Each structure stands twice: as structure tokens, then as C-alpha cells.
Amino acid sequence: MLVKITFKRVELYAALSLVLILLSSCGGVKDGPPSDYNRHWEDIQDAVPKDEPHSRYGNPGSYEVFGERYYVIESNKGFNQKGIASWYGSKFHGQRTSSGETYNMYAMTAAHKTLKIPAYVEVTNTANGRKAVVKVNDRGPFHDGRIIDLSYAAATKLGVAATGTAPVTIRVVTPGDGMVSSSNVDIEHKAASSINPAYTFDGGRVYVQIAAYNTEENALKMLDKLRDENFSSVRIHVEKNKGEMLYRVRIGPVPTTQVAEKLLAQLKEINHGNAKIVTYN
């Protein structure tokens, strides 16, 4: 009986500590990026998964934030999820995370609502194909539809810092799993070619390419512009061309070239004169 009571007290303390940490981070100074961070995303190294004991106070059976109850899962094995990623930065830098570690916005870490912590996950930004491995050591984000809150460094590597949020998939990884490299992106290895709109490429992937840029910054500006113009499925395809990075802004894939042709006409009507239809087999 004494053991049972002690366990419940520890569990209660853990839950209360977690909630206090979460609530203390909800008000006050507005969050934002650091003023002295200028690392290029390709130079940011992934977190390296390693075996670690579960946090003693970061894994209560359940906890409540803003009237919503969250249940920590019993096992992270095989976990994967799809949703929206966001990031957090200077406001929380140096504060204690839910695992008890200190939040470092320059480290490759993240927050998740229900994974048993610490955990390591591979995050893929499905808008631009970038991948990164991060250590989950905190709780959040507590916004509808968002599944993971990235550190500023992780958000920079994935291209989320520039857009604020991004669609992602996440999967738990463990030591020895096949990892992505620090500069891994979704590179299309097969050459794209202009196509005749009269043909349908059965089994191929058809896109409308708006423009290609030598810098990520210009590509992101065009991506934002297209989304402001209410185009969906806009993405950046990244590839190396003679050792240089090339950022191609595209819409798609679309089901047929007939659909692509209509989309192309709409783009040209609003002065996207360089748009063209491309395909990958």
C-alpha cells in the first residue's frame, strides 16, 4: 500500500509539474527567432538517436491543458503521424522542458503531445521534401491540427522557420535505423521534360512548373505568392545541377495533362508567363 501511495504521489507531482511548465510558457513575451542565427539549412546536423531512459516526470499517464486531456502512449514503436508542424524559439530558450532538459532553440529538438519522451523522430516537410531527425523532449503544440513543435534550428533545416507552419509526416526512429543525411531533400533524379498537352502520361507524375530559382529565398517567395493566389498543392522540388542547388516551384502532381493544361492557362492569365508542364516517369 505504501508503494502504491508513493507512486501516485510521484505521478501526481509529475502531472502538476508538466502542466505548470506548459502554462508558464503560454503568456508573456512574444516568441520569435534569434537575432544571431545564420546557419544554412544544409549545414545543420540531425540529432543522433540513442538509447535513453524515459523521463521520470515527463510521462504521466495523462495531463490536461486548456480543458483538453492528453494521454501519453505506452510505446513509441512504429509510431507515425501526418499533420502540421510549427516551431518555437527565443521566448522559451533556456527554460525547462517537460522532460526536465533545458530548451535550446539551436539544438535539433521538438515537442509532441503524446509520445513517450525522450523519443527520436524523422520529420519530412511534404511541401519541399526536406527531412530531419529530431529529439522529442517537450510537450506541445497545443493548437488544433498541429502535431509537432520544432526547435528553431530544426525548423530552419526543414524550411518551416520561413513559412511558420508546414505539412509534415513524422515517424519514430531508433538507434540503427536508416537515417537521412543532414542535407537530404526530396531530389527528383530523372530528368524533367516539356510535354505535349495532347498526351496523357499513364503512370507518370505530371506537374505545372512555375519557375526555377538558384536561391531558396526566391523560391519561398514564389511559393507564398501562389498560395496567396489560392493555388493548392504548391511545392518546391530541390535538386543539384552541376554542384549547385536548384529550387523548382511546382503545382502537382495533377492527374492528367488536360487538368495541367487548364491550370497552365489560369497561371498565364495572371502573368506567370514562364509556367510550363513537366512530367517524371
> Is this prediction's pTM over 0.75?
no
What residue spans of the chain are helical by DSSP H?
A: 2-24, 152-158, 160-163, 216-228, 257-269
Provide CB contacts within 8 A for 218, sequence distance 6+.
247
- What is the DSSP track for 186-249? ----SPPEE--TT---TTSEEEEEEEEESSHHHHHHHHHHHHHTT--SEEEEEEEETTEEEEEE
Q: What percent of the chain has pLDDT over 90?
A: 44
203-213 pLDDT, tens digit each: 457 889 999 99
Res 211: pLDDT:
93
Long-range CB contact pairs, 198-205, < 8 A, 24+: 198/257, 199/257, 200/256, 200/257, 200/258, 201/257, 201/279, 201/281, 203/281, 204/279, 204/280, 204/281, 205/252, 205/253, 205/279, 205/280, 205/281
Residue 115 scores a pLDDT above 90: yes
Q: What's the residue count for the chain? A: 281
Is residue 76 within 8 A of residue 101, CB to CB? The reply is no
Region 185-196 average pLDDT:
34
Res 13: pLDDT:
42
Nearest partner of 29 among 87, 92, 86, judged by Cα: 92
Between the CA of residue 213 and those of 158, 200, 221, what are the distances in Å?
18, 28, 11
20-34 pLDDT, tens digit each: 445 444 445 567 777
Q: Which of the two residues, 177 and 92, has the higher pLDDT score?
A: 92
Q: Which of the two residues, 265 and 230, has the higher pLDDT score?
A: 265
User: How many CA within 13 A on the CB side of residue 186?
Assistant: 15
Q: How far apart are CA 86 and CA 68, in angstroms?
A: 19
Res 66: pLDDT:
86
For the chain, domains (ranges, CATH) are: 2-173 (2.40.40.10), 193-280 (3.30.70.1070)
Res 204: pLDDT:
53
Please state the separation of Cα 39 from the chain's center in Å.
18
Provide CB contacts within 8 A for 214, sequence distance 6+.
244, 245, 246, 247
Report the range of poorest mean pLDDT among 56-70, 163-177, 192-206.
192-206
Q: Which of the two residues, 56 and 72, has the higher pLDDT score?
A: 72
pLDDT band for position 144 (cuts 50, 70, 90): confident
